[in-house]
Amino acid sequence: MGTSPLVDFKDTDATAVEKSEFHDHVSSSLARNRNSSTYSHASGTGLPWRKPSLLRFANWLRAELEVQGISCFAADRARCRNSRNHDVVERAMNACTVGVLILTKRSFGNPYSVEELRNFLGKKNLVPIFFDMGPGDCLARDIIEMRGELWEKNGGELWMLYGGLEKEWREAVEGLSRLDEGKLEAQDGNWRDCIFSAVVLLARRLGRRSVVEKLSRWQERVEKEEFPFPRNENFIGRKREVSELELMLFGSVSGEAEKEYFELKTRHRLKERRVRLEREQRDRSNRK
């Protein structure tokens, strides 16, 4: 698969995904990606808390989108070092067609994440990805009252962390819960499926019919074949390797243990065996 969507300029498409690696060269990055289809931000990563798995997921998503021809502008606004960089990123965010936010338990205490939620909800172009949590976990009442294991340590009046307004904070969180479609969950073990669904969803919203059709064909092939990749016809199997390993570990292999080995024969070796059998048959007939 390919990688990630988010910011659109003028006539181009755009999407937003949150990412926690941002440098002063954001302006040059914007210049290179002026026709990008997505804007990428991974929520809460600008704080001292930086989760490596979140960065890997965001990078994977971005890569998959770009492989499919959906370019992405990614930035962590919390790590912008001057007003110029903030202006550049805000222009990119405001110009995008679709906003993709990777939301974590730290997102609702991040002023930039809350602002982006309100921005994209207002333009009705938000695609949220819930990272290590689900949509049902993100209820304003539960967060404020610190209900449940998730919010016991991370909840409370989170707008107070950045000096925000409760009304604006509630608008963002409650607006998120009112979304009817396009909500994705990234949990341990389903990253590939989540990213696949995200790329298909974004391609549809951006009108990339060819991308949707290509991914649909790939998915159909996966459902029919256990291993939908070209096989190496020269692969000779693992019988010899397993035998040598067991010889090193246990000293010898004999008896019933030998029957437990399997050997994959390549088409080339099977063809050689068939030719050899045919030759032997001709030799026997000539002798008669």
In a domain, 231, yes or no: no
Q: Summarize pLDDT for 19-64 with one digit per residue, the tens.
A: 333 343 444 444 444 445 566 666 543 333 457 888 889 889 988 9
Read off the pTM: 0.66
Mark whether 153 and 207 lie in a shared domain: yes
Model confidence band, residue 262 (pLDDT cutoffs 50, 70, 90): very low
Mark whether 131 and 81 lie in a shared domain: yes
Q: Summarize pLDDT for 101-120 with one digit per residue, the tens.
A: 999 999 999 998 899 899 89
Q: Summarize pLDDT for 56-88 with one digit per residue, the tens.
A: 898 899 889 888 988 787 767 777 778 888 888
**Is pLDDT above 80 for 18?**
no
Can you give the length of the chain in residues?
288
Q: Position 94: which residue type?
A: N
Mark whether 144 and 258 lie in a shared domain: no
The percentage of the chain sitting over the pLDDT mark of 70, rounded to a whole number, equals 66
Q: How far apart are CA 160 and CA 176, in angstroms?
A: 20
Structural domains of the chain, count: 2
Collapsing DSSP states into helix, strand and coil, what is residue 176?
helix
Print the domain residue range for 91.
Answer: 26-224
**Which among 75, 78, 79, 106 is positioned nearest to 91, based on CA atoms?**
75
Mark whether 282 and 191 lie in a shared domain: no
Identify the pLDDT of residue 96. 81
Mark whether 109 and 137 lie in a shared domain: yes
